[in-house]
Structure 1
Amino acid sequence: MGTLSASDRWQRLIDALALLGADSADQLVWIDKYQVVTDELALEFDDALLLMAGFQQEISLDEDAMGKLRLIDSVLEEMSGRESTGHWSREALATDAGWCQVRTLARDALVSLQGDWHLPLPDIVVVR
């Protein structure tokens, strides 16, 4: 993949937050478009968060913003595990309290970082 610039890492983070903050209907359209499973929403965020590790000063992420990202990560982690598979169904995107919380947190983070939460969903390359 090579080394990503700070602006590329920033865009990955914003794209991941846009996915998590999108309405459930839009998330389902995105999932169907790329023929991926619901987990991909969280995986995109996880990948972006890993890319950000150690670079928050370079891209001006303050502690408040990092706290919001950590909280999203924590909620997604709580939704994970063998006993939690129901959180990851297509239907759960619209009905699950965890997804509602993630959506609200992602929107809050986007407003803080970008001034708006309603952003276009990113294109991705799926390697099969």
Structure 2
Amino acid sequence: MESPEPSFRRRLLIESLSVLAADAQTQVAWLVRYAVMADEIALDFDHAFSMAESLVTEGRLAHGVVADLQRINATLSEMSGAENADRWTRNALSSDEGWALTRQLARRVLVAEVGEWQQPLPDITVVR
């Protein structure tokens, strides 16, 4: 399968970071709008992150953001598992330290990449 164009991969990454960077109330409104669960935020990032690694070697991402992207990925991975189900609720978005850390890191990456962390949240299509 052919890899998507770099501009598409970059857009996916920026969109996923935009949702991660949003304040908890905005994240909850986004989840309600699309009738999805909080884990959709992490799933979107995971998908974009897996395609974004080549953007660094292609010179389409600042080298300084790689560590933050990896830390976001590691933090979300550490939050996974049945024993952490309470960390994946809408209420946890405003109180969990893992969500706070990923929000902070996502904001830092967005500032480095696009100059400002507040970005429009993406429209998504949910296939059920």
Note whether the superposition's TM-score is higher than 0.5. yes
Equivalent residue of 1:126, what SS?
coil
Q: Displacement, 1:2?
A: 6.6
Q: Displacement, 1:62?
A: 3.7
Q: Distance in 2 between matches of 1:109 and 1:102?
A: 10
1:43-99 CA-partner distances (Å, limit 9, x unpaired): 000000111133322252243211110010011111111111111011000111111
Q: Distance in 2 between matches of 1:9 and 1:21?
A: 18
Check the 8 A contact 2:10/2:55 in 1, yes or no: no
Q: Displacement, 1:42?
A: 0.4
Q: Distance in 2 between matches of 1:41 and 1:2?
A: 25
Q: How does 1:105-124 map to 2 (within 5 A)?
A: 105-124=105-124
Q: Distance in 1 between matches of 2:37 and 2:8?
A: 24
Q: Distance in 2 between matches of 1:59 and 1:43?
A: 25
Q: How does 1:1-40 map to 2 (within 5 A)?
A: 3-40=3-40
- Percent identity between the two aligned chains: 41
Q: Distance in 2 between matches of 1:15 and 1:55?
A: 15
Quote the residue 1:73 is aligned against.
Answer: 73
Aligned residue-pair number:
128
TM-score scaled to structure 1, two decimals?
0.93
Quote the residue 2:45 is aligned against.
Answer: 45
Moved over 3 A (4+): none
Equivalent residue of 2:122, what SS?
coil
RMSD value, Cα: 1.5
Aligned AA for 1:70? Q
Q: Distance in 1 between matches of 2:119 and 2:54?
A: 26
Aligned AA for 2:31? I
| Structure 2: runs of 5 or more not aligned | none
| Structure 1: runs of 5 or more not aligned | none
Check the 8 A contact 1:94/1:100 in 2, yes or no: yes
